[in-house]
Structure 1
Amino acid sequence: MMQPKNYYKIEGDTLKRLKVTCAKCGEGVFLAEHEDRRSCGRCGYTEYKK
């Protein structure tokens, strides 16, 4: 279950996202962290780590 405290951090009067968002789906859809890549469970977008 998603817990907002793991995805956002409040710094002063601003909200900071702690996870990477999907380039295709936009804001609010986060990429899953894997050992060698990040992937979106909604659309399948994948970013490979170096």
Structure 2
Amino acid sequence: MAKRQVKNKVPSQRWKLYEVKDGKIIRKNPTSPKEGPGIFMAVHKNRKTCGKSGYTEFTKTEKKEE
């Protein structure tokens, strides 16, 4: 039998959700109000969504008047 091709796994990028300032850990993304701390909301162009509960917050966009 032929060997299966090994797929390259994409590593988790949770380290992008945190930042260290003055020796304290700061969360970059907002947390979900339904799920509580530890569950982050994904930030999109016009909304913030929680992948676990499906909660969505839409951001208001200012229309440019000419």
Same fold (TM over 0.5): yes
Gaps of at least 5 residues in structure 2 are 1-10, 61-66
Calculate percent identity across the aligned residue pairs. 36
TM-score (norm. length: structure 2): 0.66
Gaps of at least 5 residues in structure 1 are none
What is the CA RMSD across the aligned residues, in angstroms? 1.3
Please identify the structure whose Cα radius of gyration is greater.
2
Structure holding more strand per residue: 1
Which residue does the alignment assign to 2:49? 39
The runs of at least 4 consecutive aligned structure 1 residues that moved more than 4 Å come to: none
Matched pairs, number: 50
Mapped partners of 1:2, 1:46: distance in 2: 23
Which residue does the alignment assign to 2:17? 7
